[in-house]
């Protein structure tokens, strides 16, 4: 067992003699795992049905001789130009009806039977040839499913959508009821009349949009399954496909059940001040998708990327600091895109582990340093790989709600992710580590569960959240929760849904969101804040995004709205659970960071969750616990002093009074 270290390896971009140098350098850099063949289809099958594996044999043998393990890709992410030439219908179509062309990558319609069959044939050959190869460690199916093309609106997709709808609803009456087609004369007389939600004169049917999101995620999953079936028939090795953090088009809860190992690609922007806490949230998601099992950071950049308008370089030490953030939050592998920086093609200005400048460079020295350290942290004496991250707090996450709450024609424009992030950040700022959960998951292992905005809710989800609080857990429910059922039909008789109304002791009469930003305002036009007041928020405070008329039936008002027609109406309520112990909170707006921090502190304290106190962390020091070790990472610009007692495994020295410079890391085994 080891903490994996490596990256995407694309030797086909280089002459043969470079491959030997690659392996020598990989050994020097402590590389243990190389992802091979991600974009090799055109090289492996230069003409339909004509395969060339000799070069890949050579690559795998060369890596194996050098002691490097292989994460072998199925090479299906970018079909060769001949596929579109012969089968133009495999090219995807946008909602405006534009057919996308060859010359980039990922130009395939996920529903295309031709694409799927060609991909299967390639995978069949790869598996036949390499399933028993001694270098093989992991199968890497396709690459970043949906990254560029997540929804396709072509005729082939339309037919597949109809089949999917027929299987779901059974009859056209069922679809008409679920979609509410009595509205705007949308009634369908048969499935043959139904189309994907292509560009239309005005708002498209909301349930049609939601079903198309679900369908599109499922079609990509069907592509994945079709390849995995071939692999599993002939290979025992584990299978993964690389996720992309909080990626809206793909419902990772469904996918996570079908990978042997969760892996993730994350590219935080060094120029963005929220990158560190946001990346922490992504890492927490990856751990949660695998039910707490270790995951792999499959791709990050050694330095700058090349796809933002401005591509900031990572500060010295930042790549290492961010890598330890991933390990501390449960990663058992740190990999990069890519090994050797390309000399040609669209990504030649994307950093690589071996930069254009070669090995006498800062980037390479940092790669070597981290490789050495991860080797020292691997093995049973340290006990890091395979270990878990203890958590007591969870946030409910649900793709249906994400898709629906951001649809047009909604009460206000909510960013689902920003809302989740506000709560996650408030909790992690207290030093807590947070899991993500499905609202219908077993919640009994947590003391506190937050559902920041669970817009689309099944009865089972509402019952489950309510039962958690009734059983003594602390439940926090945010605005925009329980508004509709799974078909986007509004829950009538007061928003929130019956089980939560009982548990929270409130219901929602009317939405009253703040005005939109005034775009004529001098200097920008921020949305006017929502005025709030209450000790639990620290007195007068402000909120954003949402406000509403909350009707209290059986709860204490802890904070109120403070201005306008809403003045005096409840903004934060609390109901103690009947059995004692737990509590059920309702929060009818998004309090600004400081006020939310105060509120969260009170809730956490009352829930009996102990805050880590062993480390004095001023501002930007991240402290996480994993497998009995404490990871302390200084993301700030100034050095800080740690007061944790123990041994820093990176330096071997006692950690009490240890000084961490900017971007410094300590991995401490407490006394
Ligand atoms: C993604 C892809 C890689 C590469 C990187 C660049 O993660 O999987 O092939 O394009 O982005 O950042």
Q: Provide DSSP, 2-44.
A: --EEEEEE-GGGS-HHHHHHHHHHHHHHT--EEEE-TT-HHHH
The predicted model gives 321-342 an average pLDDT of 98
Dihedral in degrees, nearest 10, Cα atoms 531, 534, 538, 541: 0
The CATH architecture that domain 621-670 belongs to is: Sandwich (2.60)
Task: Give rounded-to-5 percent helix, strand, coil for the chain.
Answer: 35, 20, 45
117 annotated active-site: no
Of all residues in the chain, what percent carry a pLDDT higher than 90?
92
Q: Reply yes or no on whether the pLDDT at 365 is more than 60.
A: yes
Model pLDDT, residue 531: 97
Nearest to residue 452, comparing CAs of 484, 433, 475? Answer: 475
Cβ(350) – ligand 1 distance below 6 Å:
yes
Cβ(9) – ligand 1 distance below 6 Å:
no
155 annotated active-site: no
How far is 175 from 188, CA to CA, in rounded Å? 8
pLDDT digits (tens, 9 = 90+) for 601-612: 999 999 999 887
Cβ(264) – ligand 1 distance below 6 Å:
no
Contacts of 257 (CB under 8 A, 6+ apart): none
| Beta-bridge partners for 451 | 477
How far is 323 from 307, CA to CA, in rounded Å? 21
How far is 152 from 166, CA to CA, in rounded Å? 19
Tokens of 39: 């974009």
Cβ(337) – ligand 1 distance below 6 Å:
yes
Catalytic residue among 144, 366, 385, 463: 144
Nearest to residue 336, comparing CAs of 305, 359, 315? Answer: 305
Phi, psi of 83 (to 5 degrees): -65, -45
Contacts of 515 (CB under 8 A, 6+ apart): 527, 528
| pLDDT band with cut points at 50, 70 and 90 for residue 1 | confident
Q: Reply yes or no on whether the pLDDT at 390 is more than 70.
A: yes
Residue range 393-606, CATH number: 3.40.50.880
pLDDT digits (tens, 9 = 90+) for 242-257: 999 999 999 999 999 9
Q: Find the helix packing angle between 206-234 and 172-179, rounded to 10°.
A: 120
Catalytic residue among 299, 373, 385, 622: 299
The rounded Å distance from CA 147 to ligand 1 centre is: 9
The rounded Å distance from CA 220 to ligand 1 centre is: 18
Q: Reply yes or no on whether the pLDDT at 578 is more than 60.
A: no
CA-proximal residue: ligand 1, atom 3 (nearest): 337
CA-proximal residue: ligand 1, atom 7 (nearest): 265
CA-proximal residue: ligand 1, atom 5 (nearest): 337
> Measured on CA atoms in the order 317, 644, 279, 241, is the torsion positive or negative?
positive
How far is 144 from 260, CA to CA, in rounded Å? 16
Q: Which of 34-48, 283-297, 443-457, 618-632 has the lowest mean pLDDT?
A: 618-632
| pLDDT band with cut points at 50, 70 and 90 for residue 642 | confident
Cβ(265) – ligand 1 distance below 6 Å:
yes
Domain boundaries, the chain: 393-606, 621-670
Angle at 389 between CA 386 and CA 393, to 5 degrees: 150
CA-proximal residue: ligand 1, atom 2 (nearest): 144
The rounded Å distance from CA 306 to ligand 1 centre is: 10
CA-proximal residue: ligand 1, atom 11 (nearest): 337
Q: Reply yes or no on whether the pLDDT at 577 is more than 90.
A: no
pLDDT digits (tens, 9 = 90+) for 518-527: 777 777 677 7
Cβ(144) – ligand 1 distance below 6 Å:
yes
| DSSP character at residue 89 | G
The predicted model gives 27-48 an average pLDDT of 98
| pLDDT band with cut points at 50, 70 and 90 for residue 476 | very high
The rounded Å distance from CA 104 to ligand 1 centre is: 13
Cα 241 to chain centroid, rounded? 13
Higher pLDDT, 651 or 355: 355
| Number of helical (H) and strand (E) elements in the chain, helices listed first | 17, 27
The rounded Å distance from CA 250 to ligand 1 centre is: 17
Cβ(299) – ligand 1 distance below 6 Å:
yes
CA-proximal residue: ligand 1, atom 4 (nearest): 337
Exposure string for 516-555, b = 16+ CB within 10 A, e = fewer: eeeeeeeeeeeebebbbbbebbbeebbbbbbbbbbbbeeb
| pLDDT band with cut points at 50, 70 and 90 for residue 517 | confident
Mean pLDDT of the chain: 96
Cβ(305) – ligand 1 distance below 6 Å:
yes
How far is 30 from 38, CA to CA, in rounded Å? 22
- The CA R_g of the chain, rounded to the nearest whole Å, is 26
The predicted model gives 199-210 an average pLDDT of 98
Residue indicated by tokens 């709560």: 423
Q: Which of 242-251, 390-399, 654-663 has the lowest mean pLDDT?
A: 654-663
| pLDDT band with cut points at 50, 70 and 90 for residue 579 | low
Model pLDDT, residue 582: 87
How far is 236 from 588, CA to CA, in rounded Å? 50
| pLDDT band with cut points at 50, 70 and 90 for residue 659 | confident
Residue indicated by tokens 């070597």: 368
Ligand 1 pocket, mutate which of 73, 143, 144 (most atoms under 8 A from CB): 144
Q: How many CA atoms, within 13 angstroms, populate the side-chain half-sphere of residue 322?
A: 29
Ligand 1 pocket, mutate which of 9, 297, 347 (most atoms under 8 A from CB): 347
Q: Reply yes or no on whether the pLDDT at 645 is more than 70.
A: yes
CA-proximal residue: ligand 1, atom 12 (nearest): 305
| Beta-bridge partners for 475 | 449, 584
The rounded Å distance from CA 76 to ligand 1 centre is: 15
Angle at 127 between CA 126 and CA 132, to 5 degrees: 115
How far is 92 from 151, CA to CA, in rounded Å? 8
653 burial (CB, 10 Å; 0-12 / 13-18 / 19+) is exposed
Model pLDDT, residue 618: 46
pLDDT digits (tens, 9 = 90+) for 107-132: 999 999 999 999 999 999 999 999 99
Contact assessment for residue 280 and residue 326, using Cβ atoms and an 8 Å cutoff: no
Which is the closest atom of ligand 1 to the Cα of 299?
7
The predicted model gives 536-565 an average pLDDT of 97
Higher pLDDT, 424 or 659: 424
Ligand 1 pocket, mutate which of 266, 268, 299, 302 (most atoms under 8 A from CB): 299
Write 557-563 long-range contacts (CB < 8 A, 24+): 558/534, 558/585, 559/532, 559/533, 559/534, 559/535, 559/599, 560/532, 560/533, 560/534, 561/530, 561/531, 561/532, 561/533, 561/588, 561/589, 562/531, 562/532, 562/533, 563/531
Nearest to residue 88, comparing CAs of 39, 143, 156? Answer: 156
| pLDDT band with cut points at 50, 70 and 90 for residue 616 | very low
Model pLDDT, residue 322: 98
Contact assessment for residue 512 and residue 621, using Cβ atoms and an 8 Å cutoff: no
Pairing of strands 263-265, 331-336: unpaired
Residue indicated by tokens 């480390």: 615
Contact assessment for residue 546 and residue 511, using Cβ atoms and an 8 Å cutoff: yes
Query: How many other C-beta atoms are found inside a 10 Å radius of the C-beta of residue 557?
Result: 17
Q: Reply yes or no on whether the pLDDT at 535 is more than 50.
A: yes
How far is 437 from 444, CA to CA, in rounded Å? 12
Which is the closest atom of ligand 1 to the Cα of 39?
9
Model pLDDT, residue 613: 60
């Amino acid at each position: 067992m080891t903490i994996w270290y490596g990256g995407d390896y694309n030797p086909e971009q280089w002459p043969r003699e470079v491959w030997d140098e690659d392996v020598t350098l990989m050994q020097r850099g402590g590389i243990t795992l190389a992802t091979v063949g991600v974009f090799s289809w055109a090289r492996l099958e230069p003409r339909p049905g004509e395969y060339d594996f000799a070069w890949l044999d050579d690559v795998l043998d060369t890596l194996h001789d050098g002691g490097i393990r292989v994460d072998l890709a199925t090479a299906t992410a970018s079909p060769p130009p001949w596929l579109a030439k012969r089968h133009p219908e495999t090219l995807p179509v946008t909602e405006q009806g534009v057919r996308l062309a060859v010359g980039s990558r990922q130009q395939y319609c996920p529903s295309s039977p031709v694409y799927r069959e060609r991909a299967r044939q390639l995978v069949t050959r790869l598996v036949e040839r390499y399933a028993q190869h001694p270098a093989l460690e992991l199968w890497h199916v396709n690459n970043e499913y949906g990254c560029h093309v997540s929804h396709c609106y072509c005729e082939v997709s339309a037919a597949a959508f109809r089949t999917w709808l027929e299987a779901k609803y059974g009859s056209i009456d069922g679809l008409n009821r679920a979609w509410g087609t009595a509205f705007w004369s949308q009634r369908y007389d048969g499935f043959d009349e139904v189309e994907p939600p292509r560009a239309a004169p005005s708002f498209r049917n909301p349930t049609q949009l939601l079903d198309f999101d679900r369908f599109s995620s499922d079609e990509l999953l069907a592509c994945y399954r079709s390849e995995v079936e071939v692999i599993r028939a002939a290979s025992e090795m584990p299978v993964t496909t690389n996720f992309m953090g909080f990626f809206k088009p793909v419902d990772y809860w469904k996918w996570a059940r079908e990978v042997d190992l969760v892996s993730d690609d994350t590219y935080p922007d060094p120029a963005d001040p929220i990158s560190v806490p946001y990346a922490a949230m992504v890492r927490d998601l990856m751990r949660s998708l695998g039910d707490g099992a270790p995951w792999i950071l499959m791709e990050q950049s050694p330095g700058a990327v090349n796809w933002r308008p401005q591509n900031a370089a990572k500060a010295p030490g930042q790549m290492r600091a961010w890598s330890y953030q991933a390990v501390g939050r449960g990663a058992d592998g740190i990999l990069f895109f890519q090994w050797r920086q390309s000399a040609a093609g669209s990504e030649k200005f994307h950093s690589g582990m071996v930069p254009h400048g070669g090995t006498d460079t800062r980037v390479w020295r940092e790669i070597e340093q981290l490789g050495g350290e991860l080797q020292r942290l691997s093995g049973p004496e340290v006990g890091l790989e395979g270990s878990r991250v203890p958590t007591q707090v969870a946030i409910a996450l649900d793709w249906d709600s994400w898709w629906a709450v951001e649809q047009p024609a909604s009460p206000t424009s909510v960013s689902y992710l920003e809302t989740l992030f506000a709560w996650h950040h408030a909790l992690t700022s207290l030093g807590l580590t947070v899991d993500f959960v499905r609202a219908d998951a077993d919640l009994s292992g947590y003391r506190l569960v937050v559902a920041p905005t669970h817009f689309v809710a099944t009865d089972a989800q509402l019952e489950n959240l309510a039962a958690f609080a009734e059983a003594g857990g602390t439940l926090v429910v945010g605005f925009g929760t329980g508004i509709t059922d799974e078909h986007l039909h509004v829950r009538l008789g007061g928003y929130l849904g019956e089980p939560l109304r009982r548990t929270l002791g409130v219901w929602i009469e009317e939405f009253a969101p703040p005005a939109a930003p005034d775009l004529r305002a001098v200097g920008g036009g921020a949305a006017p804040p929502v005025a709030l007041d209450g000790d639990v928020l620290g007195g007068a405070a402000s909120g954003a995004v949402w406000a509403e008329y909350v009707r209290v039936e059986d709860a204490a008002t802890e904070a109120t709205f403070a201005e306008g027609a809403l003045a005096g109406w409840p903004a934060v309520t609390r109901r103690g659970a009947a059995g004692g112990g737990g509590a059920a909170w309702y929060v009818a707006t998004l309090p600004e960071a400081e006020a939310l921090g105060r509120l969260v502190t009170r809730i956490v304290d009352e829930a009996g969750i102990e805050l880590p106190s062993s480390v004095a962390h001023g501002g930007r020091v991240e402290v996480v616990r994993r497998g009995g070790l404490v990871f302390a990472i200084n993301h700030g610009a100034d050095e800080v002093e740690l007061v944790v007692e123990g041994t820093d495994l990176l330096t071997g020295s006692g950690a009490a009074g240890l000084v961490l410079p900017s971007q410094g890391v300590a991995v401490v085994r407490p006394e």
